[in-house]
Structure 1
Amino acid sequence: MEDEAKEEREHVTVVVLGDLGRSPRMNYHALSLSKEGFEVNLIGFSGTKPQIEILSDEHITLTYMRPAPEFLSIFPKLLSYILKVLWQAVVLFFTLVTCPCSEKLLLQNPPGVPAMPVCWFYCFITRTKFYVDWHNYGYTILALSVRPNHPLVSIYRWTERIFGKLAHGGLCVTKAMKVDLEKNWGIRKITVLYDRPAARFTPLTMEEKHDFLMKLSNTYNCFSSSSPDKNVFTERYADGRVSECEDRPALLISSTSWTEDEDFSILFHALEDYERVRTEFPEHYPHLIVAVTGKGPMKAYYTSLIAEQHWVHVEVITPWMSAEDYPKLLASADLGVCLHYSSSGLDLPMKVVDMFGCGIPVVAIEYQALPELVHHNENGLIFKTKEELANLLQDWFRGFPKETEIKETYYDFYKSIEEFRKLKWHPCWTCNALPLFKDEIICKKSLTTQ
């Protein structure tokens, strides 16, 4: 009976040419499709463990592809890239043809090469409707690692443009990207679907925060205290009451992929300057603990650079958090920093969405589409230079943790963030994405407002 029920549900394939566990938006698509009565096959590479909701959903099937062999990296860079693309094309195509047939396919872009031509060809021969979810442009990301006028960048751009136009429709993450796709690419069947935080990205009670920080104190000495049931941030008293420590440090959080489109040197300079002013004016500034989460190619370089500084008043940890603990770390922080500088200027950082979901304000580096998410002096602060970031951090934490004049100025930030949190992913998805999969659905009210 269970198998028959699954057969009655319309099938949708969701494709990510990347680590499924590090593709939250596509995970959210799969969960919403399942919730709306679809049978979902989620295809991608293994690596990070997907969120528990995906693993426990009986209507979502995870199909993992074989990654390119390690020995391909021994070849010259250009040849290695071409061989990897060919490998991925063959593996993706045979994965698609060996999976159950579906009526519709949704592809994450980027990466679009070779995923876009392979998925389009598969959809063409199987008469499957082909949709693209535009997160950014792959050619602009490629241009960060090779020169912008490199032939591969041009080939990538034309691939995205041609097969993007051949798609039956799609979604994108900002209004700016929708305008660009229409004006410069001639792709018009696009709907804006803003990212929203998952349910687990939510503020913590003081008791929940204390329990989590006590857990971290077992791993990181900078969180620990010599007293029982106490860490440097919070303390539980004999009567069960939990409160913040009066002399507690500040906790700054930054999530990064440690890649070229996030210049960590900007934050490094700001922390260096914070160390200086804390040394000069210890009574005005708190000790600062900085948690920088994520994995990426430049992590080892910057962690070694930080270790060489021997800072006294600034401590930096670089944890890799589980999907369950990462939201708790965000919700325990006092302020978030976003260094994401979009390669196209047209996408939005998911990390800021998650931070807002957990109820913390954000300082973020300026680029074209960012004001669609971060509204300066309303729910966060926008900076342009490393000097501006240094000044913003010093302004924010001056007098911390006691209430100060500048902190009172920012009180409305929390009200704006609470308004943002009221608009959840699934209602937005139902309004903007579900019509792609169920043509008879008509949304009475647009839910694209950030």
Structure 2
Amino acid sequence: MRYVVFVLGDIGRSPRMQYHALSLSKLPNSKVTLSGLGGERCHESVSSQTNIVIHSISDSSWSWANYLMRIHFVTYVIFAFVKLFMQLLSLTYNLFFLVVWQRADYLLIQNPPALPTSTIAWIMSQLTLGRCKVVVDWHNYGHTLLTLDRNRGTGGKIKQLVAWIYKTVEFGFGKLGDAHMCVSKAMKRDLSSRYHIKAEVMYDHPPPIFKSITIKEKHELFQEIFPSPSNQTNTLFTFKDSSGLYELKPDRPALIVSSTSWTPDEDFGVLLDAMVLLDNDLTRKVKFVITGKGPNREYYENEIKNKRFKNISVDTMFLAPENYPKLLASADIGVCLHYSSSGLDLPMKIVDMFGSCLPVCALEYQALDELVKSSRNGLMFKTPKELCACITKLLVDFPKKTQINEMKQHLTNNFMQHRWDEEWNEKVRDIFLKKQPQRKVALVSMIGLTVLICILLKINTFF
């Protein structure tokens, strides 16, 4: 069986799709192509798999449009369509080769983005006369991301139209998939009740790379990311004693880690404001390490420099794939700032933290209680003041870490007992093994055509 896993994004920064590819590669007689935009390297467990081919697509034909889209709203509208057109051409060429020419049996795509991925995936499936089955993995709703920064006035109306078109394509073409999976029970209910899409809940679970590590491994990591060439036996958090044993320093600062994409759906300002409040309440030192890349990173790095913290120090960095799990396993508390635009997705970064036995303070929203169990594996907050209170509560009696230790024990006894492979084999494996019902291509084509007509009629009402 030939499987294509496609991501319209940086493959190296798409862990869930990498894990799908890895799981598919373990099926009998499988050949897997993991395709998407180049960028960060994939995890070694994926890149070293002999029956996984990584097919990188260059974004050079449309990346230049990103800069012009930021200049003014008018240029945003114009070059958004230019970018979409260039993506359509590139995806059509690449997916034709991977799906039609190489006779793929399954095409796995993620949503978002729906445009142009789901449209091109549907076209490719039609070109194979329905032989290639399309499986949609619903991570979130793309049209809700477009409303995060909606302005009023004319621009707001145009954005409203764009969001409506996107939503129509997202669910019009998305529901044409042969099988569906999603990331939460809340999303499963919503897809079923509002859009008549039957999806299997496939919770994110960490792969084996996210795990507890030894103090020696922590020591080696700290030497690498906080280098001090003059002292090889001591780090800020650990030391090597005269007998060669590695120990945690009793007077070490608390280590708090947050992974962010520096985007509007993760308001780093909440954590920054909480740091200001926390700095006044602390009786000991705390080090924050913020990992990730994104458009707002430079702005917030300058904001951090302007703060005059007494008890807090902050480092921002982007780690190698093999070091990120080690950092999580070395930390005392994790902070998640992800706010779901739909209220229905669950942050994979929390999953990674839990897999590393790291309790979390997470920004609260609708579906989050499916993952974070308050006072058992973490705490939830809504405001900077509440986040400050959460961290203060967890740091009582640090480094004895009474409540932190209780949460770590809960994670060990519960969450860490069920990993990605078990979840995937239980919920998803049969989708790719059982014979899917043959679609009536003519009927599906008519549905797709109806979606396009509805879009044109809607556009006409705005002019």
TM-score normalized by the length of structure 2: 0.87
Structure 1: which amino acid aligns with 2:332?
A: D
Question: Aligned pair in 2 of structure 1 residues 338, 363: CA closer, same or farther (>3 Å)?
Answer: same
**For 2:123 and 2:295, how far apart are their aligned partners in 1?**
33
1:212 to 207, 213, 221: 221
SS in 2 for 1:35: coil
Q: 2 CA distance for matches of 1:396 and 1:380?
A: 9
Q: Quote the offset at 1:311 in angstroms.
A: 1.6
Question: Which residue of 115, 118, 130 maps to 1:116?
Answer: 118
CA contact (8 A) 1:171 1:191 kept: yes
- Aligned residue runs from structure 1 range 112-151, under 5 A: 112-126=114-128, 127=130, 128-147=132-151, 150-151=160-161
1:170-200 CA-to-partner distances (Å, cap 9, x unmatched) read 1100000000000111112x10000011111
Q: What is the CA–CA distance in structure 2 between the aligned matches of 1:440 and 1:201, rounded to whole Å?
A: 34
1:381-428 CA-partner distances (Å, limit 9, x unpaired):
111111110111122223321x3xxx4345431222112011011121
Please report the RMSD computed on the Cα atoms of aligned residues, expressed in angstroms.
1.6
Equivalent of residue 58 in structure 1, options 38, 43, 50: 50
Structure 1 position 312, deviation (Å): 2.6
- Structure 1 equivalent of residue 427 of structure 2: 432
CA contact (8 A) 2:4 2:106 kept: yes
In the TM superposition, what is the alpha-carbon distance from 1:226 to its structure 2 partner? 6.6
Query: Structure 1 unaligned runs (5+)?
Result: 1-9, 219-223, 279-284, 442-450
Correspondence for 1:175: 185
Amino acid at match of 1:257: S
The one of 19, 39, 51 aligned to 2:31: 39
CA drift of 1:123 comes to 0.7
Please say if residues 286 and 400 of structure 1, whose CA atoms lie closer than 8 Å, have aligned partners that are also in contact: no
Deviation at 1:227, TM superposition (A): 4.8
Change in 2 beyond 3 A, CA 1:409/1:71: closer
3-state DSSP class of the match of 1:171? strand
Aligned residue type for 2:296:
M
1:422 aligns with one of 410, 417, 420: 417
CA distance in 2, matches of 1:80, 1:142: 16
The percent identity for this pair of structures is: 39
The residue number in structure 2 matching 1:398 is 396
**Does the 8 A contact of 1:103 with 1:129 survive in 2?**
yes
Please state how far the C-alpha of 1:74 moved relative to its aligned partner. 3.0
Query: Structure 1 pair 71/423, CA: closer, same or farther in 2 (3 Å)?
Result: closer
AA at the equivalent of 1:42: L
The match for 2:240 among 236, 239, 244 is: 236
* 1:107-148 deviation per Cα after TM superposition (whole angstroms, max 9, x unaligned): 011111110011111111112111100000010112224358
Structure 2 CA distance for aligned equivalents of residues 95 and 227 of structure 1:
51
* Residues 68 and 79 in structure 2, CA contact (< 8 A), matched pair in contact too: yes
Rounded to whole Å, the distance in 1 between the matches of 2:77 and 2:87 is 16
Q: CA contact under 8 A between 1:113 and 1:159: conserved in structure 2?
A: yes
AA aligned to 1:159 is V
Alpha carbons of structure 1 residues 248 and 123: separation in structure 2 relative to 1, 3 Å: same
Contact map agreement 2:108 2:136 (CA 8 A) in 1: yes
Amino acid at match of 1:89: L
Maintained 8 Å contact 1:286/1:399: no
Partner of 1:153: 163
- Alignment pair present for 1:26 and 2:17: yes
Aligned residues: 416
Aligned partner letter, 1:424 = R
Q: Name the residue aligned to 2:446.
A: none
CA distance in 2, matches of 1:117, 1:321: 35
Unaligned runs of 5+ in 2: 70-74, 437-463
Letter in 1 for 2:281: V
Q: Is structure 2 residue 197 aligned with structure 1 residue 199? A: no
